[in-house]
Structure 1
């Protein structure tokens, strides 16, 4: 299925059972909630998906299961976050073999590559696959900034089509558009900056709290794109305390707690992560429950254009 890189793309959490196996039944339940909410693609094996602790056979099962469940309704994108070019090439090959529709790729993990190394890494992987790719630009968490000059060199690769913009600098959306026009699709990758970046021209939102609140996330996107900014502002103001759960080192635990609280997930994480306990859990749960207590009625969106 062709990836358009528009709209809301949830970075899905990976569901686990109490004995640390993939919980595909619960994954399917959450996936249906996302599709019912109006998302336009899904991303597997990202940071929220606990990619660093997933085994290759588990990624294969997730991708193939998701493709079967989605049944062509939206594209399925697989994340690549590897320390070596060799392993990234292998993951790209496997993703294509398993039937993924696209790839999201981070710069090399653990080693802080320079300009030439970063560009060479992305080009090498892009040239190895026919799948469309989105580059995940997150220097805050992963220490490598993909600069405008790097993106200039990467225009040579037709299948590098999109950017997950997570620099935390909303001005970068405008810089990218000024420099590249419509060459790249831009998707906001930071929940707390999503409305701002969509107003500046971002095409989509790679979202985190969507895992627990799909309808509200899609509503913010659609309202902004329809120019219904006051309605979007009111919804976003309600949403912001919840969205802030996405910008904490324990975002996986926080968002999984939210999923559990709304009935479309569980708190099970894979060690070394551990479920929240004590005062921290109560604090996060308080934020979630306050949001649920004041959950707004969503405006009519059937007639709102998606893009």
Structure 2
């Protein structure tokens, strides 16, 4: 499930051409679900721009590609966006997490009202155990308020996670997506049985991330580890500096598409970090092209992966 950055022009207006170039690159690598959320900096998008954004996202992807936009993070903004969503053909949207000023019961009440306004179930992005408790979360999935959960609570060891373990006792693993990129993905798929993960670096190397998903699902662990290790240098830079800012700049520096400036209140990566970001992004592109050449030269035995 690719989580792309969002390209803008120098005046911060949306850039359909650059966004389409990135989407075509991702689709060519076999990824068929696009989630526009944190990496696209939708935290700061104006409600007045939201319909234009949705229309653009619907136009730039193939018909068979599933596109999921995000709403939020505050309730007032989400309510306005839910009404806009109700006028479109989108089937779900992801709720961005809000830090502070929430209670689990308040979140549950708000989600139900938003579902009524939008006429569709939502995907909930959780980054903290305090946001919503396991029983409430399970009930929201059971009653159809939530279609899925993007799980992104950071652990020192992703294989040791009592909250996720309790959640999966009540919720099918197919409804929980690992939401923190490649770093915890292998543990989440192998130890907890999650069906998919969200990827930022996979927007740059979609053939490689598709190959990684096939390898881990089929138990080819030597291949899994080799592919996994190739993603870690860029993922480490993202962890150390900023997940959103580094990926945004990495796509531009990779040569795939010019993402332009980040919408305020964010800004680009530190100047001093750009050479390292450029190197790792270009290394990923080179690896991805090599995997694509091998795949295209061999008789096809696998169909493209549709995650999510």
Sort the TM-score into its range (normalised by shorter chain).
0.7 to 0.9
The C-alpha deviation readout for 1:66-95, integer Å capped at 9, x for no partner, is: 2123242122211112322x4322212212
Matched, 1:149 2:139: no
CA distance in 2, matches of 1:157, 1:19: 43
What does 1:30-179 correspond to in 2, within 5 Å?
A: 30-44=22-36, 46-84=37-75, 86-107=76-97, 109=98, 111-139=100-128, 144-169=130-155, 170=158, 171=161, 172-179=163-170
Matched, 1:28 2:20: yes
1:83–1:111 contact (8 Å) kept in structure 2: no
Q: Give the structure-1-normalised TM-score.
A: 0.84
Q: Structure 1: any 5+ residue segments left out of the alignment?
A: 1-8
CA distance in 1, matches of 2:172, 2:52: 38
Count of matched residue pairs:
292
Structure-1 residue corresponding to 2:301? 303
Matched, 1:280 2:273: yes
1:138–1:166 contact (8 Å) kept in structure 2: yes
Change (3 A) 1:26 1:32: same
Q: Structure 2: any 5+ residue segments left out of the alignment?
A: none
1:161–1:185 contact (8 Å) kept in structure 2: yes
CA distance in 2, matches of 1:254, 1:181: 33
CA distance in 1, matches of 2:154, 2:269: 27
Higher RCO (C-alpha 8 Å, min separation 6):
2
CA distance in 2, matches of 1:120, 1:248: 36
CA distance in 1, matches of 2:268, 2:142: 44
2:126–2:153 contact (8 Å) kept in structure 1: yes
Q: Give the structure-2-normalised TM-score.
A: 0.83
Change (3 A) 1:92 1:272: closer
Change (3 A) 1:249 1:47: farther
Structure-2 residue corresponding to 1:188? 178
How far apart are residue 222 of structure 1 and its match? 2.1
How far apart are residue 294 of structure 1 and its match? 6.5
